[in-house]
Amino acid sequence: MNSGMRMVTRSRSRATRIASEGCREELAPREAAAEGRESHRPVRHPRKTQKVHVAYEVANDEEGKDPEPLRVPDWEPQNWQQQLANIRIMRSKKDAPVDQLGAEQCYDASAPPKVRRYQVLLSLMLSSQTKDQVTAGAMQRLRARGLTVESILQTDDDTLGRLIYPVGFWRSKVKFIKQTSAILQQRYEGDIPASVAELVALPGVGPKMAHLAMAVAWGTISGIAVDTHVHRIANRLRWTKKTTKTPEETRKNLEEWLPRVLWSEVNGLLVGFGQQVCLPVHPRCRACLNKALCPAAQDL
């Protein structure tokens, strides 16, 4: 009985196979094979695409933000590259006051990093509307007494005023220095902030000082530092799309077209050039290599 059932089963299986093979004759061999495999295999769902995260090198103050693609400026000044090359030649000796007495030279290189950064910020606060020689003298007197956040907070206003005099607006700077030092002690453990936004929030600290502090104290190029020299020269050379009225307006104009790789260089280069050649009054155009390229040279 059992063997009979097995024989029937085998016969039916064989018949089914023969019938099946007969049907396949009407199909292409590859299609038939595919049909047989698909009927016995589970359906495969398409794999979910995984996103690949690519890391880009960004400036320290831009961490956490998506990197911006390289931009091609829609405008740039005529002959600016040749003008810049000529200024580099005229500044090759590095003998302007800013080269010897700028913020990079006013701090105590042997002091702890936190103290050095504080001294850089203080020298920048003193330098506003003040010649580099006067700023350097004031910093030397302050450092002789031990220039730290704690020492400044322990110094009375009259004494501090005598130490920094005759820097420009010295009375206001006494107040700003005291207020800023107190904030640094309370909020930053005696250090200075590491962002432009936090630096300009301090009393007596403007955009130019903030960008220079980022560069000198933190080694980060956050923007172009524009003072009166850079502002004046940029307008004389027509390095702004239109005439600008303030250093901050000039900074924004310059950053729209000047390659970022030059941002760290342009401040010291133009400040020294403004101290020696492109003076505020009676600029020395005859000695300037750009006299044939400078639009303002024809008007002065």
Query: For the chain, where are the alpha helices, taking DSSP H only?
Result: 2-24, 29-40, 80-90, 97-101, 113-127, 132-144, 149-153, 157-164, 170-187, 196-200, 207-218, 228-236, 247-257, 263-276
| Amino acid code (one letter) for 36 | G
Take residue 26 and report the two structure tokens written for it.
């009407």
Q: What is the DSSP letter of 113?
A: H
Q: Give the N- to C-terminal CA distance of the chain in Å, as an integer.
A: 124
* Residue 261 pLDDT level (bands cut at 50, 70, 90): very high
**Structure confidence by residue, pLDDT tens digits, 143-200:** 999 999 999 999 999 999 999 999 999 999 999 999 999 999 999 999 999 999 999 9
Percent of residues, the chain, with pLDDT higher than 70: 76
The answer regarding whether domain 106-218 maps to CATH 1.10.3730.10 reads no
pTM of the model: 0.75
Quick check: 288 pLDDT over 60?
Answer: yes
Positions marked catalytic: 208
**Quick check: do 80-91+225-287 and 106-218 share a fold?**
no
Residues 107 and 151: their CA atoms lie apart, in Å, by 15
DSSP conformation class of 240: S
How far is Cα 1 from Cα 244, in angstroms, rounded to an integer? 109
Q: What is the mean pLDDT of residues 225-254?
A: 97
Confidence of residue 258 (pLDDT cuts 50, 70, 90): very high
| Sequence-distant contacts of 234-243: CB under 8 A, at least 24 apart | 234/270, 235/296, 236/278, 236/283, 236/294, 236/295, 236/296, 237/77, 237/80, 237/83, 237/290, 237/294, 237/295, 237/296, 238/77, 238/78, 238/295, 238/296, 239/77, 239/80, 241/75
Sign of CA dihedral 249, 252, 257, 260: positive
Please check whether residue 192 is in contact with residue 184, taking contact to mean a CB–CB distance below 8 angstroms.
Answer: yes
Residue 124 has pLDDT above 90, yes or no: yes
Write the CB contacts of 253 (distance below 8 Å, at least 6 apart in sequence): 234, 239, 240, 241, 242, 244
Domain ranges of the chain: 80-91+225-287, 106-218
Q: If pLDDT is split at 50, 70 and 90, which confidence band does 66 have? A: low
Is a pLDDT exceeding 50 seen at residue 5?
Answer: no
Region 281-285: mean pLDDT is 96
**pLDDT top residue among 104 and 178:** 178
Domain 80-91+225-287 - what CATH class?
mainly alpha
Let me know: does 295 contact 238? Beta carbons within 8 Å: yes
Rounded to whole angstroms, the Cα distance separating 123 from 138 reads 9
Q: Give the pLDDT confidence score for residue 103 in this predicted structure.
A: 85
Taken in order 141, 146, 147, 152, the sign of the CA dihedral is negative
At 191-215, the pLDDT tens digits run 999 999 999 999 999 999 999 999 9
Q: Using CA atoms, how far apart are residues 91 and 70, in angstroms rounded to an integer?
A: 30
Q: Is the pLDDT of residue 37 over 70?
A: no
**CA–CA distance, 119 with 141 (Å, rounded to integer):** 12
How would residue 226 be classed by pLDDT, with cut points 50, 70 and 90?
very high
